[in-house]
Every structure is written in C-alpha cells, then in structure tokens.
Structure 1
C-alpha cells in the first residue's frame, strides 16, 4: 500500500448524465480506480407541480449529486467539482500592465464594469494568457457567492470535503495537457465539448485558453429533431440513435444498422430523415465552431479536438473535418469505457487538480471559498513545526552517520595497535586465519606451561613424589602398580592396580591428606582376575601462588 495516499472523487454534473472518476494518488503515481455514470433526473419527473425554476434547478443539482454519490461512492468524502458556466461570467480582459502578477491584482477592478453583478457579491479569478508590449491578456471568471455556496453546500452539509471548484473551460483546456507535449506546445488548437444542452468551444495557444465561447446548442436539439420523425419519447429516441450505429462520415460512405429499423418499427424513409437531421446538426455545430474561429484573436488552429456526448456518433469527426477544412480528432486517451468522448471533461478536471494550487482556476481558493473548506486539513498550518522537525531529523541522521564513521575509524586503530603488539610478542606474526589476540593467547599458554614446569608451580616430578609419599607402602597394600599418570594444568589422572577392592578407599583417603591436592575422586574401577582391581582417580591440584595471577584469556 502506498504511503500518504491522496484519494478523491471527480464529479462532472452534466445535464443528461452525472459522471464520476475515483482517483488515488501516492508516491508520484496516479490511478483511476473506478469510473461510473448515472442518468440525471429532473424535478419535473419527480414533482410535476414545481413552479420556481431556479429552486427546481438547485433541487435537481442537489438530488442528483447526492443520489450519484450514495449509489456508487458512499464511502468517499473528498470531492472535486466544476461550476457550470451558466453560473459564471466569462470575459476576455486586457489590462494595461505588462507584468502578469501585478495585472492579476487589479483584475477585479477591470472586470467590475463588464459583469452585471456587484463584486461585493461575487468572486473573480483569472487565467493568464500572454503579455504584449503594453497589455496583459486574461480570461476572467466571475461567480456569485451564492452560486459558489450552492455548488458545494450539499456535500459540505453531509460532512464531505470539496477540494476544488473549477470551471468547465479550465477543465477542458487541461485535458489537452494529457496529450504528448509536441501535440500542443507552440500550436494553436481548438476544442469542442458537444454536450447535452450546450457546446463549449475553446481556442488554445500552447495549451492556454485565449478564447472561449459557450453555445446553448447541444445533443438535445438533435434528439428533439429525431423525435419529430419518430414520435418517440426522449429516452427511446436516445436509445434509437445509439442502436442505429449511424455513421455520418463525409469522406467515405457512411451507413447504419438496418436491422434496428424493424425493431423500432421504422422504415427507410424515416432513416433518411434521421440521417439528414443528424448531418444538419453537425453542420450547425461546424458553423458555430467557424464563427468562434473568426472571433478568436489568433490564427486558425492546427487541429480541433472534439468530446462530449455529441462526439460519440461514428464519423462525426470526419464530417466536421470535411466541413471546416481543419483536422478534427477525437482525444487519443484511454479509459476502461466504451467511448472516451463523454469522459474528457472529467479527465480534464483530474489533470487540472494535479496542478499546483496557485496555478488552478479554483473558486475555493478565493477569500469566500476558503471559508467553505471546513473539512480540509491544511498542512501549511504545520509548516513551521514540520520544518523544525525535519531539520532535527537531518541533524540526528548526520550525527548518527558521523558516529558510525568515527567508531569504524577507532576500531581500525585498535586493530592496528593489536597487530603491532602481536608482532612484538609473537615474532614473525602476520594477519591471517589466526587473529592477533588468538596468537598472543597461544604464546601465553605455552609460556605459562613452561613457567609451571621450570620456574614454579607443580612439576610432574613433584606431583609423582607427592603421590608416592602419600600412598601406603607395600606392607599395607601389597603389590601396587601405577598404570596411568596424566598431568594437565591443574588436574592429574592417576590409574592404579591394587590387590583388593577394599584398598581403594584406603588409597583415596591417604591422597586426600596431601596439601598439594584439593580433591581426590574415584572416576572408575574395574575388577581383574584373582580379586585384583584397577582404579582411576581424578586429582585436582591446589591453587599455586606462583602462577595464580596469570590469566591467558
């Protein structure tokens, strides 16, 4: 499991469908865990007697938002949202200040006279595009305070934490940055998000929005036209358009699935009318894109990318490309869904959220928006303690490493000294399998044995004489024979052959009377033919003052 995981739910509240991406970030990796889609329900479906349209719209938004979360992601509490462009005012602003940071500070003053709302009741944020010799160019977004609060309030009331509230324009522009850089840097590109009620058109210069336009014309208009032909309800008309697999390509022969006509009780004349109305719809979309390109302050784009529900029909990119004379492409992105087009806005929101906070278009970064971040823990409040703790940890690690290096150096010095002493004590010593300490111990033991034999301690002859003196004579024991005499350090192993087994205790008691021996124990006795017996005594020597202070360990 990755440490410090950042998990959040991206929610794109469209007019027809609500889409969500559950994203997890950790240790530099970003993973889309789930992608879910749910049809939106209007208040008219639930309450046909509703009168206040504004109240109904808010009620629809809250109902669908909560229903979507409870249906698919009830355990999540961190969200990323987009404020509909119908709730914001978008303006192209030129400020007579070249430096963009200074221009951004006076942006609200420039916007105030261009929006039908007092800035006391609204928040303004801007996205920098470019600077020329005299002016800085911005795209400004102005949203009423009540619209910002209404967007996040359903989630905050339920204990959720809204991490970002951006706008569709910025989210769609960020989707371009998911492509390889050579496809958008240094180029003019167009974007068309063909939604259910609206079509959003962006013109980008090196990935930055330089012109944007929202048109109240979307896939719903096409469905209404097809309804006039079929007489079906809206949902059935939408299913028909999907099942028909209508290909509207212009550069190649299109077609449709004729087997579907019988299923929906339609004939070929109906199919021809549907094809004509579908092409008229995309022809109108192409005209709106062309009008936008004429109004844009930049040359015609190198290519246009389309997305949204209106970009799911086969061949629509080819149809628009033929009519506009400009390359039109679907986004070369991947997601575990049938079609990437409806998910581009959600992916763009994810990419926009990945930016640094100062680079985002986020109404929750405004003074009013900051008051709505109730559930968020901001690490900036702990920055000073974290810096101090980090510095202390670094000092501790440095001291620990220095101590290891110092100890290793001292150990090497001690080993060098030990080798010098070993060479002084043991002539010709060289480091090898035997360490310096082991070589010195060996010499010590040899010299100690020599000292015990020659210069003090118990010599073998002394021990043999003591045994002879303490052992009873022939008059008491008869024919006694010494069979074994082993002497090692402070212990003697004595083997005798006696005439009778009753003499064992007599010999043992006699030897115990010696001051040279600290203990005499019988270790073994064996009977021999003729009532003779062979006995083994273990004799421990008493401490010798001449060598008791010597220790070779």
Structure 2
C-alpha cells in the first residue's frame, strides 16, 4: 500500500482539480492534479492493494467503491470530478478512413461505420472518435479517424463504481489513449520518431506504437506481472528440516521475491531468504518473459511491415510490471532497442514542495492515473454526448432529413465504389496468378499424388521410428542431471505441444523426502537447462505423494529438445 498526501498550503490560487482513477485487477491507484496552471501540480497520489477475494471473477461494485473511498481519505483528496478508463478484450480500436464531410454529419455516420466491425448494435455501443489527419485514397484526401467503441454496459459498470465512491465521472477513456496522452505531455527527441509504449499490468500488457506522436497501432496481450509471480510459486519448499512436510510459496511470498530480486542475470549467484537459488529463480521466470518478448517482437514486426516503418526507435515501459529488476536490460538486449522506464512527472510541480526523487521508483506505475487526470476537453471520451441540434425554421426542418438522406446515399456510394474497386483489383491479381500457375498445375498434381503415396508408406512404420530423437543422448543427459534422491518414472515425446517445429519432452518422476529435496529439484532443472540438447525447462506439475513409505514429491518437467546440437 502506498499513500502520499501533499499539503496544499503552497497552492497558488484556486481552480478546478481532476482525479485520475485506475482500477486494476490488483491495485487501485488515484492521482489528483490541479489543472489551473500551465504546469500541472500533483496534489496527492495513493496506491492501495485490493483484497485477495476481489482479484478474481466478478467484483462487488460496493466493495471496490469502499477501497476507492479509503484511497481518497488516505490521500486527503478532496476533488470530485474523476476520469476513468476501461480495458480488456471488449475494447475496440480501429483506424478508419471516411470521405470529407462536416463534423455534424460525420457524427451521424460514424456509429453506423462502427457496427461494421463489432457484433453490437448502435444502441449497445459507447463510442467516440478522433480525427488524426488526412489520408489520400485514389487521389482524394479523406479523413483519417481513430475510432474507439465498447459495450455500454461495461462503461455503466465503471460509472456505478465511482459514483458509489462519491465521485463524478466526467470522462471514460481506454488504456492506449491514456498512453498516447502521457507521451504527448512528455519530451521526445527528434530522432525518436517511432516510440513503443509498453504498459505491463497485473492482468495484461498494452502495446501502443506511435509515429511522430501519432497513435498508429495498439494491441493487448495476456502476458502480465501476475503470470511472472505465479511462475515463482512453482518452487517446492520444505517446511523446517529433516522430514518436514512440503509446501509451496504463497502469492504474497512470490510477489515479495519478485520485487526484491527481480529477474536475475545468468551471472548472478546466491540464494533468496527462502533458499531459492537466483539461477533457479531466473529459470522459472524466463519462460514468461520470453513469451512477453515474443509477443512484443511479433507486434513490432507486424507494425513495421504493415505501416512501412523502417524500425521502432525506442520503448518506454510503464505499469507496475515495468519496474521488475532486469526486465529493461533483458528487452533491450534481445530486441536491440533502447528501453527506458516512463516518468510522467517530468516538468510537473508538487504541492508542498515534495521532491520528485521521493517518488521516482513508483513513477512508471502512475502513468495511467496521471494520464487520466490530465484529460482535457476535446480528448476522447466514451461519455461524449451527441451535440444538440440547433433550432431550425420550418423550411429547414424539411430540408434537414433530406440532407441527411443525401449524405447517407453519398456515403454508401463512396464505400460501395471503394469496395468494388478493391474487388476488381483483387480479381485481376488472381487471374494473373492463375495464368502463371496453369503451366505447372500438371506437375503439382503429380507431386501431390507422389506425396500421398510416400505418406501412406510412412504411416506403415511404427510411430516411434518416425521421431528423429537421439534416445541414447537424451537418456545420457538426463542421467547426468538427475539428483541421487530422484527416481525417473517416464519420458514422453509430446506431439501436441510442438513449439516452432521443435519437439517437447516431458520428464516424470518422484523426488524422495530428504533435507535437500526442494533444492535438488531446482538443481535438476538448472542442470537440464545447461544441457546442450535441452531448452525452456518448465515445471508443469508438482504435488506431494504419500503412497510411499517415505513421502515423495511427484513432478512433471517439460523441456524443448534441440536435435541439431553436435
């Protein structure tokens, strides 16, 4: 729990204040800004942990509201106007192109455009949009629009929570837009044209790619700080010494270890207070961080290819997960890109003369609430109400529906014409491809027939003979790695979990109850990881087995087989 209350005794004049409220899956974070001056002034910020029963499944809105109230009290936050955000798979963000038209008419057409991309009716959607520029299509300059939509019931649920806490929601936005806002408020070097913002939360990670400060691509991935913590919980520990019973780490213990030791490098030595070697800690965390790396790399590759960008120049990490020790260096080394931690408080004043150095460690975690509290009129909001129509004369009352009808006809004509042009171009392309393929079609048929014959012949052999695995080498490497107190029971080649064409080997066994049983499992995993033919060693299953006269620890390990190693 974090609570910082900055006295307003040094506040210069009065004015409006705005609260940025980030309701996460593990934390509630609140930040109050004084918006009366050009230089924003932070009046208070609070970070409070949600109780364990509120981190999973459906939440009681009243219970969440009580946590928010506690934050407001703890931080002596008096403002009532709040900006909140929604996140998750139900958030729809899309760049679209629309023909030139007046703003009032565009507002009428946009909802119908949104229904093309989501399975909700206009009445079920909360949406807003921002015109980010112009895009030339077939010689015509069209409007380049960033459209955001989400089911209304999701927005209403968030609004009900903050109202129960005694606050007034003035805007609802989405995570990528908040990241974009924060970057706009910060400083950026001219050579850093393409910046990736990586917000690592407890439940998900948001990727936002911006080119010259313009949001171009967003993606949400299910790799999070929670997954890193749970990977550490796989460590088996022994209570006390001798023949004590087995236990695993609690979530809090694993979280504390993660915060204190981070992601150790391969050269670090030593153990945690619980007796876990830093080498083992690195092995346990690496699969999750490798998955994060793969998702980031995939997103970058897609963006570079789709938007014709030479490269991503820089990564800015935010969120609670961004502060994991060693993560910044890991990503920078693997991606070959500069990585820095976000600091939204650059150029920001603090009431009471509090030094920025006092909050430097928590700055990345407050990017979202800071961006929310910096919301301004004109920024995207899913609470945006349709502008009221001006009073019209009787003649204009008759003309207005006709004008809207003409507009819709023009819009339909424009979209249909564009679609027809695309279809014609695609058809011409396919015809050319078909002509080029006709010359080799006979050979392809012959090869296909030959392939079926060879496959039938291959299927006649026993399955085990078809796997190109050096069984003797595998058994020898396992023999050299396995501890003395561990009995090997089964080795499987898992066909359903193939990874990038590589085979996965599962190792089943039981470690018997000795003082060093828990550490011996760590050493076994570390030895397999160091073997030249195994990679990505993971603990799949660990449970106590009392079926023997001496208690045992039944386990299942999974590792990737590298057959090309000499």
Instruction: Write the distance in 1 (CA, Å) between the matches of 2:108 and 2:179.
Output: 25
1:344 — aligned with what? 367
1:388 — aligned with what? none
Asked which structure has the greater RCO (Cα within 8 Å, sep 6+), the reply is 2
Instruction: Write the distance in 1 (CA, Å) between the matches of 2:109 and 2:233.
Output: 50
Q: Is the 8 A contact 2:65 2:165 kept in 1?
A: no
2:250 — aligned with what? 233
1:66 CA displacement: 3.6
SS of residue matched to 1:32: strand
Once the two structures are superposed, residues 21-50 of structure 1 have per-residue CA deviations (whole angstroms, 9 ceiling, x without a partner) of 1222334342112221110125468xx9xx
Instruction: Write the distance in 1 (CA, Å) between the matches of 2:165 and 2:234.
Output: 43
Name which of 367, 382, 389 aligns with 1:363. Answer: 382
Instruction: Write the distance in 1 (CA, Å) between the matches of 2:28 and 2:178.
Output: 16
2:41 — aligned with what? 31
Which structure shows the higher strand fraction? 2
Instruction: Write the distance in 2 (CA, Å) between the matches of 1:30 and 1:95.
Output: 35
Instruction: Write the distance in 1 (CA, Å) between the matches of 2:162 and 2:335.
Output: 43
Once the two structures are superposed, residues 330-377 of structure 1 have per-residue CA deviations (whole angstroms, 9 ceiling, x without a partner) of 2255444223221122222233x1x3x12x111222349xxxxxxxxx
2:280 — aligned with what? 273
1:190 — aligned with what? 196
1:2 CA displacement: 3.2
1:330 — aligned with what? 341
Greater CA drift, 225-234 or 134-143: 134-143
SS of residue matched to 1:363: coil
Once the two structures are superposed, residues 297-342 of structure 1 have per-residue CA deviations (whole angstroms, 9 ceiling, x without a partner) of 3223211111112211223112112211222222255444223221
Structure 2 stretches lacking a partner, 5+ long:
1-10, 237-247, 346-355, 388-566
Instruction: Write the distance in 2 (CA, Å) between the matches of 1:320 and 1:275.
Output: 15
SS of residue matched to 1:323: helix
Instruction: Write the distance in 2 (CA, Å) between the matches of 1:110 and 1:98.
Output: 15
Larger Rg: 1
Instruction: Write the distance in 1 (CA, Å) between the matches of 2:284 and 2:101.
Output: 50
Once the two structures are superposed, residues 150-169 of structure 1 have per-residue CA deviations (whole angstroms, 9 ceiling, x without a partner) of 21223334543223222111
2:228 — aligned with what? 222
Q: Is the 8 A contact 1:98 1:133 kept in 2?
A: no
1:63 CA displacement: 4.3
Judged with a 3 Å threshold, the aligned counterparts in structure 2 of structure 1 residues 177 and 112 are, in CA distance, closer, same or farther, namely same
TM-score where L is the length of structure 1: 0.57
Q: Is the 8 A contact 2:344 2:366 kept in 1?
A: no
Judged with a 3 Å threshold, the aligned counterparts in structure 2 of structure 1 residues 75 and 94 are, in CA distance, closer, same or farther, namely closer
Judged with a 3 Å threshold, the aligned counterparts in structure 2 of structure 1 residues 99 and 367 are, in CA distance, closer, same or farther, namely closer
1:5 — aligned with what? 15
Which structure shows the higher helix fraction? 1
Residue 115 in structure 1 maps to residue 118 in structure 2:
yes
Residue 243 in structure 1 maps to residue 260 in structure 2:
yes
Instruction: Write the distance in 1 (CA, Å) between the matches of 2:35 and 2:344.
Output: 19
Residue 320 in structure 1 maps to residue 331 in structure 2:
yes
1:179 CA displacement: 2.3
Instruction: Write the distance in 1 (CA, Å) between the matches of 2:50 and 2:319.
Output: 16
The number of residue pairs the alignment matches comes to 345
Once the two structures are superposed, residues 432-451 of structure 1 have per-residue CA deviations (whole angstroms, 9 ceiling, x without a partner) of xxxxxxxxxxxxxxxxxxxx
TM-score where L is the length of structure 2: 0.56
2:450 — aligned with what? none
Instruction: Write the distance in 1 (CA, Å) between the matches of 2:15 and 2:184.
Output: 23
Instruction: Write the distance in 1 (CA, Å) between the matches of 2:324 and 2:255.
Output: 12
Within 5 Å, which residues of 2 pair with 1:448-487? none
Instruction: Write the distance in 1 (CA, Å) between the matches of 2:371 and 2:191.
Output: 15
1:540 — aligned with what? none
Structure 1 stretches lacking a partner, 5+ long:
369-553
Q: Is the 8 A contact 2:68 2:165 kept in 1?
A: no
1:89 — aligned with what? 91
1:125 CA displacement: 0.9
